[in-house]
């Protein structure tokens, strides 16, 4: 039987790269959305409203897609609803509270590099949770190199300077940790639930929570027009499309093979932030940090490693 596009070498490379490109594009897209919608760094209510609309729409798109594929979208017991509510609260709502606020106080280039720490957090947490996924010497070295990259990216222009903001870089690190922890919980939930259906519901639930937080915080979308609305739709589609393709790649290939493409996400995030936001790539700390983070991700995702795969943006 002829292999599908999800199994051929060229197909896997093209589709996995597309997913990473979409996820990497979220960093400049969010920053651009803040500008188009006139959302200030201090306007947390509007940031939550912006995030809530995006993820609620992404969840609806995924659930409609799953229904069209005849997946059990409405097969929800009380126990499943509770699990989905916890997952939506943590993996979408809590994570993106920190991520969207952090990104409002940091550059897209730095956020792209720092958010990759989620891969390393996943490896460390898996060591304490899964008996068959221990922290090997190679994984430990990869985590060490990756976190060293996070230190380097926050070095200021001076020899001893340190450019770190608690509500910027600090919140981005917290968001990465919450994503890693909640993804491990999501892995448990997906054992008796279709991954696409699970993600669709948790995105919708989390999106509604964020929307509620935004409304309670007097959030506004006063700059919403065709341009900003198109950007919002794109951001919802990038999450739903990338997840759908990624899940099919995982279904037809080994986790280790697909996980190796994770290093492309910070590369695309950095490059697209520089291209669309006009942010400089010429700082030595950015280039060295990006190299260190990519090396770290490569080490922990080599064949034989099994980190959780998740959408980082």
pLDDT, one tens digit per residue, over 115-144 is 888 878 888 887 887 776 677 888 888 888
Asked which of 64-73, 153-162, 223-232, 265-274 is least confident by mean pLDDT, the reply is 153-162
- Segment 263-280 mean pLDDT: 87
CA 271 – CA 232 distance, rounded (Å): 21
Could you tell me the CA-to-CA distances from 83 to 44, 86, 240, 281, 311 in Å, in that order?
Answer: 27, 5, 20, 42, 19
Which one of 44-48, 277-281, 297-301, 305-309 scores highest in mean pLDDT? Answer: 44-48
pLDDT value at residue 1: 55
How crowded is the C-beta side of 192, counted as CA atoms within 13 Å? 8
Q: How confident is the model at residue 159 (pLDDT cuts 50, 70, 90)?
A: very low
Which residues have C-beta within 8 Å of that of residue 152, sequence separation ≥ 6? 285, 288, 289, 292
pLDDT value at residue 60: 96
> Does the pLDDT at position 310 exceed 80?
no
> Which neighbouring-strand residues pair with 162?
155
Residue 118: closest CA among 272, 293, 269: 293
> Does the pLDDT at position 311 exceed 70?
no
CA 294 – CA 313 distance, rounded (Å): 17
pTM of this prediction?
0.85
Q: What is the pLDDT of residues 219-248, one digit of tens each?
A: 998 888 999 999 999 999 998 888 888 877
Q: What is the pLDDT of residues 177-220, one digit of tens each?
A: 998 888 888 878 878 888 889 889 999 999 999 999 999 999 99
Q: What is the pLDDT of residues 51-107, one digit of tens each?
A: 999 999 999 999 999 999 899 999 899 999 999 999 999 999 999 999 999 999 988
Could you tell me the CA-to-CA distances from 176 to 8, 76, 312 in Å, in that order?
Answer: 32, 29, 8
Which residues have C-beta within 8 Å of that of residue 83, sequence separation ≥ 6? 189, 193
- Segment 170-182 mean pLDDT: 90
Asked which of 57-61, 154-158, 287-291, 307-311 is least confident by mean pLDDT, the reply is 307-311
Q: What six digits make up the tokens of 127?
A: 């060591």
Contact in structure between 29 and 271 (CB atoms under 8 Å): no
Sign of CA dihedral 287, 292, 295, 297: negative
> Does the pLDDT at position 298 exceed 70?
yes
Q: What six digits make up the tokens of 176?
A: 């990465």
Q: What six digits make up the tokens of 32?
A: 């651009």
Residue 80, classified by CB atoms within 10 Å of its CB into exposed (0-12), middle (13-18) or buried (19+), is middle
Could you count the other beta carbons within 10 Å of the beta carbon of residue 214? 24
CA 112 – CA 172 distance, rounded (Å): 10
Which residues have C-beta within 8 Å of that of residue 276, sequence separation ≥ 6? 28, 32
pLDDT value at residue 232: 95
Q: What is the pLDDT of residues 13-31, one digit of tens each?
A: 899 899 999 999 999 999 9
CA 7 – CA 4 distance, rounded (Å): 5
pLDDT value at residue 57: 96
- Segment 33-61 mean pLDDT: 95
Contact in structure between 286 and 122 (CB atoms under 8 Å): no
- Higher-pLDDT residue of 254, 49: 49
pLDDT value at residue 250: 73
- 170-191 in b/e form (b: 16+ CB < 10 A) is bbbbbbbbbbbbbbbebbebbe
Q: How confident is the model at residue 160 (pLDDT cuts 50, 70, 90)?
A: very low
């Amino acid at each position: 039987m002829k292999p599908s596009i999800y199994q051929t070498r060229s197909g896997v490379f093209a589709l996995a790269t597309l997913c990473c490109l979409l996820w990497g594009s979220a960093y400049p897209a969010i920053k651009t959305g803040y500008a188009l919608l006139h959302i200030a760094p201090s306007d947390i209510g509007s940031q939550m409203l912006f995030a809530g609309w995006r993820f609620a729409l992404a969840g609806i798109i995924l659930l409609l897609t799953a229904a069209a594929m005849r997946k059990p979208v409405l097969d929800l017991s009380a126990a499943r609803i509770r699990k989905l509510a916890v997952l939506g609260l943590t993996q979408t709502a809590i994570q993106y509270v920190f991520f969207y606020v952090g990104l409002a106080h940091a550059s897209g280039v730095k956020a792209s590099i720092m958010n990759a720490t989620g891969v390393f957090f996943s490896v460390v947490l898996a060591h304490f949770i899964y008996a068959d996924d221990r922290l090997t010497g190679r994984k430990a070295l990869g985590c060490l190199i990756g976190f060293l990259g996070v230190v380097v990216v926050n070095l200021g222009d001076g020899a001893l300077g340190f450019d770190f903001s608690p509500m910027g870089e600090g919140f981005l690190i917290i968001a990465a940790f919450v994503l890693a922890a909640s993804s491990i919980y999501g892995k448990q939930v997906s054992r008796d639930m279709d991954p696409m259906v699970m993600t669709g519901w948790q995105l919708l639930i989390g999106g509604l929570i964020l929307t509620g937080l935004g409304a309670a915080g007097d959030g506004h979308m006063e700059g919403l027009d065709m341009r900003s609305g198109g950007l919002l739709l794109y951001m919802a589609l990038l999450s739903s499309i990338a997840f759908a393709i990624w899940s099919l790649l995982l279904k037809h290939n080994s986790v280790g093979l697909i996980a190796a493409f994770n290093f492309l996400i910070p590369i695309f995030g950095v490059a697209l932030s520089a291209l669309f936001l006009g942010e400089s790539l010429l700082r030595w700390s950015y280039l060295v940090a990006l190299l260190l983070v990519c090396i770290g991700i490569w080490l922990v995702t080599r064949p034989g490693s099994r980190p959780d795969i998740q959408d980082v943006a």
